[in-house]
């Protein structure tokens, strides 16, 4: 009888101890950069509309259209803006959620694209630029207060210099200075 009780206790302990050694990844930090691939410069608008049914036209000037998509990760939602010209993506800009950990997200970009080509740090905010990340230029910004968090990520094709003058990043920068941008 004693052996049966001891065996039962040992088997119970072994079952729970083995489960406790398993790696547990927090749900908030398993975001993958691959969610942005469909918005890469040169991608077709029809492919984006197929994957993101919530795509909304927010601006149209000539042949350039700006759309807003909503990216959903776990229970968090954040906006992504994409510019389209002649049914092809020019660039994308995503306002990243503050719950993302800057160190993890930045390291994932380094693992994917290598060390950044440019770095600028001003007033607690950093900007990182990869000039040739698979044919596009990636700009990422993060800031630190008590903790560090990402602010945005932007991607634009680096082949056509004329399209870079129409960048969402440039338009957002001008509008933040009070200049009217359409």
CA 124/CA 126 separation, integer angstroms: 7
Q: Does position 143 have pLDDT exceeding 90, yes or no?
A: yes
Angle at alpha carbon of residue 89, lines to 34 and 68, rounded to 5°? 75
Contact assessment for residue 127 and residue 93, using Cβ atoms and an 8 Å cutoff: no
> pLDDT tens for residues 56-77?
999 998 889 999 999 887 767 8
Per-residue pLDDT averaged across 164-169, rounded? 77
Rg from Cα positions in the chain:
22
**What pLDDT is stored for residue 95 in this prediction?**
92
Q: How confident is the model at residue 133 (pLDDT cuts 50, 70, 90)?
A: confident
Q: How confident is the model at residue 23 (pLDDT cuts 50, 70, 90)?
A: low
β-pairing, 88-95 vs 148-157, is: antiparallel
Contact assessment for residue 119 and residue 133, using Cβ atoms and an 8 Å cutoff: no
Q: Which residue has the higher pLDDT, 100 or 88?
A: 88
Contact assessment for residue 97 and residue 78, using Cβ atoms and an 8 Å cutoff: yes
Q: Tokens 């607690």 — which residue? A: 124
Q: Is 28 left (phi over 0), alpha (psi -120 to 50) or beta?
A: alpha
The CA-to-CA distance between both ends of the chain, in Å, stands at 83
**What pLDDT is stored for residue 16 in this prediction?**
62
Q: Which helix (H) or strand (E) holds 117?
A: none
């Amino acid at each position: 009888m004693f052996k049966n009780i001891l065996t039962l206790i040992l088997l119970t302990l072994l079952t729970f101890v083995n489960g406790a050694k398993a790696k547990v990844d927090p749900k908030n930090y398993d975001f993958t950069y691959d969610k942005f691939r469909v918005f890469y410069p040169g991608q077709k608008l029809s492919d984006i509309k197929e994957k993101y049914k919530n795509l909304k036209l927010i601006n149209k000037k000539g042949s350039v259209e700006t759309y807003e998509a909503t990216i959903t990760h776990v229970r968090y939602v954040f906006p992504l803006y994409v510019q389209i010209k002649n049914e092809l993506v020019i660039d994308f800009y995503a306002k990243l959620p503050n719950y993302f950990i800057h160190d993890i997200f930045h390291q994932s970009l380094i693992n994917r694209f290598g060390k950044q080509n440019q770095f600028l740090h001003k007033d607690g905010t950093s900007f990182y630029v990869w000039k040739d990340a698979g044919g596009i230029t990636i700009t990422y910004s993060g800031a630190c207060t008590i903790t560090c968090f990402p602010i945005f990520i932007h991607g634009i094709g680096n082949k056509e210099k004329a399209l870079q003058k129409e960048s969402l990043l440039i338009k957002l920068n001008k509008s933040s200075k009070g200049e009217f941008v359409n």
